[in-house]
Structure 1
């Protein structure tokens, strides 16, 4: 049974809303498979390899799944190593908010980076919370955020769509999508309840090494074996009578030649 699309998704993504929802679920599944494969190949005692591959994959796998949709455009934030995808009016931002299951309605953005500040200029305004020491005319006024890079060229009607997910090196546990404002202490203020994404079991692309590289055939081995190659040409010279009388040991190889060019010289 198909799950109806939330109204906000149709408003933001238009006719591509259903394809975006399917693509996001598949992208996160592929992300997890890639990261687990990298961790397995690293054979490391820590999960650093998994974490690095997962962080990279959460952007690159989304781009792979959505880039062929009509109207899909990659957007490169200022000094950010990856591109975010914009489909219709929706700018998609995936992020991990926990390593174990946690109510997404109390999720927090991992850190308040400059990228996060710029992205949330495309999000709804947070509800105002008046502190006990705030009075009219004395409230803190946050400076305007300068939007840079590819984000600066986005149309003003662009809407930030969050894709928070829960995963660890053992598995991908759950994922959601929705629209939210950034409140105090980096907590999200959801416009509506975040919708769960379907995470497929099948993986459509991953980098697990499943084939052993082809080994040389026996005929090739005969050509490359050390005792079947062409014999090297040896240069022989006899010792002088003086060396023989003084019992000077024979030289078995040429004296090394001093290199007159250093590595530093080669760079100039």
Structure 2
């Protein structure tokens, strides 16, 4: 597929820029399809299953689609459950900016977390540099965020490439990519014009994804494996001695439990 690319994309991703452009659109299409399938399987009256699968998929599907590119490297930020991917000099960060069609030029980062602060150390400086009395963009101790985990090992010149997309449980609406600074109130200050990604109609699959409910055990198989399907054990009954009955001693049905010699602390050794 031939796509028209801006100079910044070629500068960041090199000769692989067009492949990254196409791959991102395909990854987001796969993300949407997987999330909708999870929602359908859950048969729930809420969209919680869709939302959870979509959030996970926006990172995992991108990695699956681009991991075979020469030089593609996974990067795991500190305390983050998923890996991001670096291609060339571009660190890709996909995120949901709207559930309806909306002007991406006015988009905000959904939440200014510690991860977001660390990611935007690879982005341009905002027009208004916040001072020590502005806590947005700074850590809890008032110091400017510093990359941790896998982000700390990224080479100089790495650039954060944002991939904002709009979708809901019904459809994938649009997606873009570009470079921006993090301004006041989580607003993005675009250094490049955010460009639309091409979203294909078809879905590709990498690895083994659930396509149908696994085969259920048949009645005959269940009869052989069920805990109550075997022969009943023979029970030996004995009467209590007369002396015990006269003294009102309660029958002993189980042995006294032995003291547990383990503790929760043992699990740490």
* TM-score, structure 1 normalization: 0.81
Structure 2: give runs of 5+ residues left out of the alignment: 135-142
> What is residue 92 of structure 1 aligned with on the other side?
92
Secondary structure of residue in 1 paired with 2:200: coil
Q: Distance in 2 between matches of 1:190 and 1:266?
A: 52
> What is residue 140 of structure 1 aligned with on the other side?
131
8 Å contact kept, 1:176–1:197 = yes
Find the structure with the greater CA-based Rg.
1
Q: Distance in 2 between matches of 1:114 and 1:148?
A: 10
Secondary structure of residue in 2 paired with 1:189: strand
> What is residue 256 of structure 1 aligned with on the other side?
254
**1:264 and 1:54, CA in 2 relative to 1: closer, same or farther beyond 3 A?**
farther
8 Å contact kept, 2:120–2:160 = yes
Q: Distance in 2 between matches of 1:85 and 1:221?
A: 46
Secondary structure of residue in 2 paired with 1:28: helix
Aligned counterparts, 1:189-208, within 5 A = 189-205=189-205, 207-208=209-210
Structure 1: give runs of 5+ residues left out of the alignment: 130-138
8 Å contact kept, 1:38–1:207 = no
Q: Point out which structure has higher relative CO (alpha carbons under 8 A, 6+ apart).
A: 1
> What is residue 176 of structure 1 aligned with on the other side?
176
RMSD across aligned C-alpha pairs, in angstroms?
Answer: 3.0
Aligned pair count? 251
Shift of 1:169: 1.4
Q: Distance in 1 between matches of 2:131 and 2:13?
A: 35
8 Å contact kept, 1:37–1:207 = no
Secondary structure of residue in 2 paired with 1:45: coil
**1:91 and 1:221, CA in 2 relative to 1: closer, same or farther beyond 3 A?**
closer
